Every structure is written in structure tokens, then in C-alpha cells.
Structure 1
Amino acid sequence: MISVFGSANMDLVAYTAVVPGRGETVTGHAFRTIPGGKGANQAVAAARAGAATCFVGAVGDDAFGPVMRDTLAGAGVDVSRLRVVPGSSGIAHIVVDDDGGNSIIVIPGANGTITAPSDEDLAVIDRSDALLLQLELPMEAVVAAARRARVPVVLTPAPVQDLPRELLGAVDLIVPNEHEAAAITGLADPEEALKALLDLVPEAVITLGAEGALYGARTGRPLRVPAVPVRAVDTTAAGDTFVGALAVARAEGRPQEQALRFAATAAALSVQRPGASTSMPTRPEIEAALA
């Protein structure tokens, strides 16, 4: 089982030819309301990739809350630890251009009310094969979950920010994209950034978009896995798809290169569809693409 302690947001997505600059107005050609949030996305990705998955988080008592709960449950995610709190659910305003690139503003809402996992949350987490964390919850909550969990901890350091030493000391695998890796380490070259990350945590994967992914551990040689060549429609949640699928493959005991290829294939399938949770592939789709 995979446990995810993280955010649930409603994504308000505008599609336009070019993302507007400051002070600029452009005309879009479509708008969608899609359940997302990095935590919820990773939970859906893991469930669709074939794992029993539990999501620990919060939604508001607004109209978006039930929609996000139903979306998670509909993907097969256990939502028994999804709490409802007064006020707004988390919101993400997303603009997607015709090349599939995006810019995002996240408003925490209910996610900001979580300060730590409860004992009941931890009881579920500690029965799982891995705990997935991101940084859309308050840092104190992320640190508390990482330090108190008794299972391998996988951290997606996004939105990128300073990482407390007590958090890094509890993380087993960190999965930044190349921009996040550069921000954390101060090194633009991914191979050098990987070396620096391994001074902080035992294992790291840097996702490189169309260039694939770079994996390293404190023992052994780095491993680079190429991306699956596709035409991207919307890259929203590609990283979350990668992490969810990677967690599933590792929990199943796949060799590291096979696990990375499984994750890269899942991410490649997701960018060919619009949206976040709506774009994530199922286990049969991933296996068919691998074959």
C-alpha cells in the first residue's frame, strides 16, 4: 500500500496560445475545473498504477470538497483519512499554453489547516510500503509526518523552498525536477546537483522533462533513463504521475531501472491528455505502452 500525506486542490485551468506576461491580457480558448493538488494527484497516480492507496489530507466544506473526495474515491483511493474543515478547499489557478507548458498559483485553503498527522493517520501510514510527501501543506506538518513515519519517505520538494535539516534527515528518496534541484543545491548541472542531493538524502531522482530522469544513490553509479518521446498536450501533474508510479514500482520490488521506466512511461502517457488527475494512466495502459 502507498500512503500520501498531502494537498488536495481544485484546479481552475485556462488554456491559451501564449501565457500572458505581467499587465497583459490574452484570449483563451478553453476552461476546465479539474480536481488536483500534488498530494491528491500522487494518490490517484499510485492507485491507477495498481497500488492500494490511502490519502491523508483535508478539503473545505465548500462545493469543491465533495467533488475532490469523489474523484479520489472513484480512482480507488481510500479517503477514510480525508478530513473536512470549515472554509475553502485548496485552489490552483493554472494557465496552460499550446505547447503544453503551464504556470500555477496555489491557494492553500483547507490544506493550510493541517499541522501534523494524527495518531490515526500514522496508524494507516505505518501499514504502508511508502509515504509520499510534497510541500503544499505547512512545513511543520510535512516535517512531523516524515519524522514520525516508520516507512520509507519519498519527498517531492515542490513548491520549492528551504528544506529543514530535520526533514532531510527523515527522507529516504527525494524527487525534484531539474529546476527544483538547481534551487535546492545552487547547481544548474543536473549531474552535479544529483551529487549534492546525495549529500543530503540516501537516494535522489531528478526528472528532466523531455530528457528523461537521472537517478543516484550513495552507493553505485548514477542511472539515466530516457523519456518516452511524445507530443505534450498538457504537462500539469506529469511529475506527480511519475512519483506515484515510481512508488508503486519500487513497492513491487522492481529493479531500479525498470521502476524508472515504468514511471517515465506513466508520465509520458499523462502529458498526452489535458488536466491533472484526469490525465493519469491506468495500470493496463502503462503495461501496454511498456510492451
Structure 2
Amino acid sequence: MSNSLPAVAVVGSINLDLIATAERLPTAGETIGGALLSRQPGGKGANQAAAAARLGGRVRMVGAVGEDASGHLMLDALAGAGVDTGDVQLLPEPTGTALIVVDREGENQIVVCPGANSCLSLEGVRFGPDEAVLCQLEVGLPVVLEAARKAPGFFVLNAAPAMDLSAELLERCDLVIVNESEYALIPALASARLVAVTYGGAGSALLEHGRKVAEAPARAVNVVNTIGAGDAFCAALVLALQRGLDYTSALSAANLVGADAVGDPSSQPDLARLGYYLERIAPAVDTR
């Protein structure tokens, strides 16, 4: 098994996260005081790109931000994580923004204002045969389908937020990643080639055409923020599978990465290299 990690192109959203941390989540029409406000780089695409780079992958981001202060902050954050931002477009539209409320248990409510994300174009973008392409659904479905058509290699879709997916898109996916709720909301996934499903504290599983072929337990951790955990899991699973790990080992490593992420208040948490997590699930994994 090669010791180098693969190249990953992440096609997706880049947002400024405005996070209010409160004792509990508000109900409809309710105002809650006493919250703490933070501004952080976010967006599912950017979160996954940052995680993959921090894990040691060779990562480039394909996305769009506004020609505003928030856009430049998002670019600086990605570059600081080790992501190649040469394919991030600067557009007249405002940078995407997510309004997030997080409670003391780490649960959240999120409203996304897509801004420049909704104007992302793949004109002139090319993908290499050795490059995994990772998409989510916070950019337009036509862009995701175009990426699927252009990608000659390993194509992965994090089908979040959940929505109906065309047969063409699902048939092109080498891997779909969802949480338990998203899996239930997209019935077509029951017949998909390979689907990774996360179950929070109950771990994760891989399904081939609806049949469970691997599973791995979660590690009990103190939950601070769940916003970036699923994105860190996605990045780790793609890198582990591309590196040649078997399904169970790949899930186990991705679960450990996700567990580290929920213990960090950031949407783009600091992570160790993937090899660190592989050593923690040894001796089943050869980390040479």
C-alpha cells in the first residue's frame, strides 16, 4: 500500500459561518438571549477540502466566493489549511453565508444563503484520472452532474442536503456518503453501487446495492460542535479508500477523524495526518 495520499478535487460550497452558541435551540417564534457569536470559514465543500488537506491529501478547491472581505478571508483560510485555491472563482455576488445556532450539546440549526455558490461554473475546469472528485449538494445540481460527467476517476457525492437525484448521477457515483436521515430521504440510494451511512454515536456502515458489507463503531467523545464532523468524515473516508484500505478499516479511520472533529468548536477543525488515525486502528492496517 502506497504511503502517499491521493489527489482530491473538491467541487462545492464556500461559506462564511456566523455561529451563535446558545444554551439551547430556539423554537418557532422564540428569541433566546445570552448567545456567543463567532465568524468562521465554512461551507461543506470548503470544510471537506480543508479536512482532506490537513489529513495529508493533495487537495484543490473548485468553488466560488464574492469579491468582498468575506471571500478573501475564506480564500486565506483554505490556503492556510494547505488547499490549492487556484480554481476558486471571484464573482460579483456576495460570498455565501450560513447562519448557525449551536446548543450546549453540539446540535445545530442552519440556514444557508448561497450567494456566489449559486453561480459556480466548471467552464475550463479539468479533472485528472488519478484525482478523486468529491461533491456535495450546496451548489446547483447541474454543476454536480457536470462534474460527474467530467471526472474520469473516482467520483464521490456527499448527498447533503438531501434531495432527489437523477439516475444518471447516481449511476456515475463510485461512492455516496450520507447520514442516517439523508439515507431515509433518498430512497434511490437503496440500489446505489456503494453508500456510506453515518449513524452518529452508533458508528457508520457501507452498503453495496442496499446490502451491508462493512461497519465500524463510533468512539465516545465529548460533543462540542457537529457542524464539521460529517465533512471531516467524508474527507477521511475518500482518502482512506483511495489509499487502498479495506472497507472496515476505512470506516474506522473516518470515524476517528469525525470524533476528533466534534470535539473542536471550528467548522474546519485542526486534524492530524491520516497516518495518525491509521495507527490508532492498527494492527489491522498496514501503515508502512
State the TM-score, normalized to the length of structure 2: 0.91
1:238 matched to 2:240? no
Distance 1:111 1:221, change over 3 A: closer
DSSP-derived class of the 2:168 partner: helix
- Aligned residue number for residue 136 of structure 2: 134
1:197 matched to 2:223? no
Percentage of matched positions with identical amino acids: 40
Distance 1:23 1:221, change over 3 A: closer
**Distance in 2 separating the partners of 1:182 and 1:198:** 9
DSSP-derived class of the 1:28 partner: coil
Query: Does the 8 Å contact 2:13/2:63 carry over to 1?
Result: yes
| Mean Cα deviation higher: 126-135 or 259-268 | 126-135
CA deviations 1:119-174 (Å, max 9, x no partner) are: 3x21xx22543110100001111111112211111111111111122211211111
- Aligned residue number for residue 40 of structure 2: 34
**Distance in 2 separating the partners of 1:76 and 1:51:** 9
**Distance in 1 separating the partners of 2:267 and 2:130:** 24
CA deviations 1:197-225 (Å, max 9, x no partner) are: 241x2101111011000112249852121
Gaps (5+ residues) in structure 2? 1-6, 283-288
**Distance in 2 separating the partners of 1:77 and 1:41:** 11
Q: How does 1:192-271 map to 2 (within 5 A)?
A: 197-199=189-191, 201-218=192-209, 222-271=213-262
| Mean Cα deviation higher: 9-18 or 217-226 | 217-226
State the TM-score, normalized to the length of structure 1: 0.90
CA apart distance, 1:289: 5.0
- Aligned residue number for residue 44 of structure 1: 50
What amino acid maps onto 1:181 in structure 2? Y
**Distance in 2 separating the partners of 1:25 and 1:230:** 30
Gaps (5+ residues) in structure 1? 186-195
| CA RMSD, 1 decimal | 1.7
Distance 1:247 1:16, change over 3 A: same
DSSP-derived class of the 1:92 partner: strand
Query: Does the 8 Å contact 2:129/2:151 carry over to 1?
Result: no
DSSP-derived class of the 2:35 partner: strand
**Distance in 1 separating the partners of 2:218 and 2:42:** 24
Runs of 4 or more above 6 Å deviation: none
The number of residues matched between the two structures is: 275
1:282 matched to 2:272? yes
Query: Does the 8 Å contact 2:205/2:251 carry over to 1?
Result: no
CA apart distance, 1:256: 1.4
DSSP-derived class of the 1:19 partner: coil
